[in-house]
């Protein structure tokens, strides 16, 4: 696979063999992220197509089915109606439906089994971030995707943020050179942990949930010619769960990479899900990257728009919104759409999957599959460093709940791929293979 294969494909409109083909998609999980970034794609199908492929939502599997039922009830008479399944056999029944691709948008610790089942059924899978929680799980999914000749990908929509694309361009062009440290933060409102995620928050932490966006941004923007070296983490408890429990309010992750010239680069990523609900933006999010010759300071909330409406801001809608992520707009030609990089990242997966299946003669499918799998921004095979960080942070926080402070995870040392070191000198080899 050469980068020319990819570049040859990018700028051109999709060239499908079958006109107005219906690309059939299923969803496992039907929560906040589906509402924000998937439903706008299916809704827009009445107006627009991906190339000449119409992407339709055919089936949904969820835990209780309650949120899907509400959505189904809101559809008008002419809308295409997906089948809804819930309960113990929901996933099996979804996979009995005639589908091309399935997206998994269940809570963080429920991605793996669903994704494996989708791949084994021969469908392409898109997994919401964090893809999976351990390298063993990642290995199993990648092996299964190889065997079944399908795509297995993950959504990191911050890579589609125009500011982050520009950052990567300046790094790639050598304008900003040699990153040596950085700081990122993403703080979510208390309503997320108290209401939205209350069913699955126990035993979880906000770093696995959202810091992964920044782990990926750092890994993808400044890599791949460096090595993930060490991971550390600290956190606070006592608001979402008990002070000595395993549910975390806030987490501070520190990751260290080593450049080819042996100089290290260190990044701190701070997250929480206990921000006041009346904060002027939905989430606070900011990055700072320091280079040998420059500084990049980015704020994903304060993008220059500030809106105040008596009695409505900041509760009903926010004072400093991030319209780049997702916003309903009336286009200059009168059409009402929802657009933004959150939606773009998901739409792009359907384009890639449809290209594999229908973008040319069947005998060339292996070549198209290999081309789409070479996209390091979303392919599971390129998610190793992020999953390694997730696995390390989960293990460090578990150690902390057992009273062990100051544990650190080393990457690719003489003892193994992921090695947890405690202050008392004891070690655990968490992943023997190479990260």
Ligand X SMILES: NC(=O)c1ccc[n+]([C@@H]2O[C@H](COP(=O)([O-])OP(=O)(O)OC[C@H]3O[C@@H](n4cnc5c(N)ncnc54)[C@H](OP(=O)(O)O)[C@@H]3O)[C@@H](O)[C@H]2O)c1
Contacts with ligand X, residue ranges (CB under 6 A): 28-34, 61-67, 90, 105-108, 110, 128-129, 155, 157, 196-197, 209
Which CB, 105 or 171, lies closer to ligand X? 105
Which CB, 190 or 368, lies closer to ligand X? 190
Question: How would you classify the pairing of strands 227-236 and 124-128?
Answer: unpaired
Inter-helix orientation angle 162-172/212-222, to 10°: 30
Which CB, 176 or 192, lies closer to ligand X? 192
Which CB, 61 or 228, lies closer to ligand X? 61
Cβ-Cβ contacts under 8 Å for 296 (sequence gap 6 or more): 167, 170, 176, 287, 288, 289
Which CB, 89 or 336, lies closer to ligand X? 89
Question: Is 380 in a helix, a strand, or coil?
Answer: helix
Cβ-Cβ contacts under 8 Å for 371 (sequence gap 6 or more): 1, 5, 6, 9
User: What region does 203 belong to: left with phi over 0, alpha with psi -120 to 50, or beta?
Assistant: left
Shortest separation between residue 247's beta carbon and ligand X, angstroms: 15
Shortest separation between residue 153's beta carbon and ligand X, angstroms: 12
Residue closest to 104 by CA, chosen among 213, 195, 31:
31
Shortest separation between residue 262's beta carbon and ligand X, angstroms: 34
Residue number with the smallest Cβ distance to ligand X: 31
Shortest separation between residue 184's beta carbon and ligand X, angstroms: 14
Which CB, 197 or 248, lies closer to ligand X? 197
Shortest separation between residue 32's beta carbon and ligand X, angstroms: 4
Shortest separation between residue 307's beta carbon and ligand X, angstroms: 23
Burial category of 377 from C-beta neighbours within 10 Å (exposed 0-12, middle 13-18, buried 19 and up): middle
Residue closest to 324 by CA, chosen among 208, 159, 141:
159
Shortest separation between residue 117's beta carbon and ligand X, angstroms: 11
Q: What CA–CA distance (Å, rounded) separates 63 from 29?
A: 7
Burial category of 203 from C-beta neighbours within 10 Å (exposed 0-12, middle 13-18, buried 19 and up): middle
Residue closest to 254 by CA, chosen among 275, 272, 236, 228:
228
Which CB, 147 or 199, lies closer to ligand X? 199
Q: What CA–CA distance (Å, rounded) separates 210 from 272?
A: 9
Shortest separation between residue 72's beta carbon and ligand X, angstroms: 12
Which CB, 222 or 273, lies closer to ligand X? 273
Q: What CA–CA distance (Å, rounded) separates 295 from 175?
A: 11
Which CB, 90 or 231, lies closer to ligand X? 90
Residues 225, 260: contact at Cβ < 8 Å? Answer: yes
Shortest separation between residue 127's beta carbon and ligand X, angstroms: 8
Burial track 346-376 (b if 16+ CB lie within 10 A, e otherwise):
bbbbbbbbbbbbbbeeeeebeebbebbbebe
Q: What CA–CA distance (Å, rounded) separates 83 from 290?
A: 50
Angle at 36 (CA atoms; ends 67, 77), nearest 5 degrees: 60
Shortest separation between residue 21's beta carbon and ligand X, angstroms: 27
Which CB, 113 or 292, lies closer to ligand X? 113
């Amino acid at each position: 696979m050469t980068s020319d294969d990819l570049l040859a494909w990018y700028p051109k409109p999709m060239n499908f063999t079958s006109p107005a083909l219906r690309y059939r998609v299923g969803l496992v999980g039907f929560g906040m992220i589906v509402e924000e970034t998937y439903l706008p794609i299916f809704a827009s199908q009445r107006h627009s197509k991906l190339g000449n492929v119409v992407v339709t939502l055919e089936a949904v599997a969820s835990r209780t089915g309650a949120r899907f039922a509400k959505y189904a009830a809101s559809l008008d008479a002419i809308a295409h109606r997906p089948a809804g399944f819930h309960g113990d056999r929901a996933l099996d029944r979804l996979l009995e439906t005639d589908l091309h691709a399935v997206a998994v948008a269940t809570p963080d610790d429920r991605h793996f089994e669903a994704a494996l089942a989708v791949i084994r059924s021969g469908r392409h899978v898109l997994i919401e971030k964090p893809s999976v929680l351990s390298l063993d799980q990642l290995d199993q999914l990648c092996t299964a995707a190889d065997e079944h000749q399908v795509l297995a990908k993950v959504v990191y929509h911050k890579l589609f943020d125009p500011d982050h694309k520009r950052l990567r361009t300046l790094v790639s062009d050598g304008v900003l050179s040699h990153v040596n440290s950085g700081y990122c933060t993403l703080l979510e409102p208390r309503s997320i942990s108290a209401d939205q995620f209350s069913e699955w928050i126990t035993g979880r932490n906000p770093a696995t949930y959202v810091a992964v966006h920044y782990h990926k941004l750092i890994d993808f923007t400044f890599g791949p010619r460096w090595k993930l070296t060490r991971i550390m983490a600290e956190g606070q408890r006592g608001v979402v769960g008990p002070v000595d429990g395993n549910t975390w309010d806030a987490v501070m992750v520190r990751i260290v990479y080593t450049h080819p010239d042996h100089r290290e680069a260190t990044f701190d990523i701070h997250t929480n899900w206990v921000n006041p609900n009346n904060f002027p933006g939905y989430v606070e999010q900011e990055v700072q990257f320091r280079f040998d010759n420059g500084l990049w300071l980015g704020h994903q909330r304060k993008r220059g728009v500030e809106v105040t409406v008596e009695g409505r801001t900041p509760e009903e809608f926010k004072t400093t919104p991030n319209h780049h992520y997702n916003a309903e707009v009336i286009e200059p030609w009168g059409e009402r759409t929802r657009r933004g990089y959150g939606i773009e990242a998901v739409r792009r997966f359907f384009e890639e999957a449809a290209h594999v299946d229908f973008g040319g003669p069947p005998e060339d499918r292996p070549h198209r599959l290999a081309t789409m799998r070479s996209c390091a921004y979303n392919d599971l095979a390129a998610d190793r460093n992020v999953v390694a960080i997730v696995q390390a942070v989960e293990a460090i926080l578990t150690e902390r709940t057992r009273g062990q402070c100051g544990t650190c995870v080393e990457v690719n040392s003489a003892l193994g791929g992921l090695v947890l070191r405690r202050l008392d000198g004891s070690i655990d080899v968490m992943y023997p293979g190479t990260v």
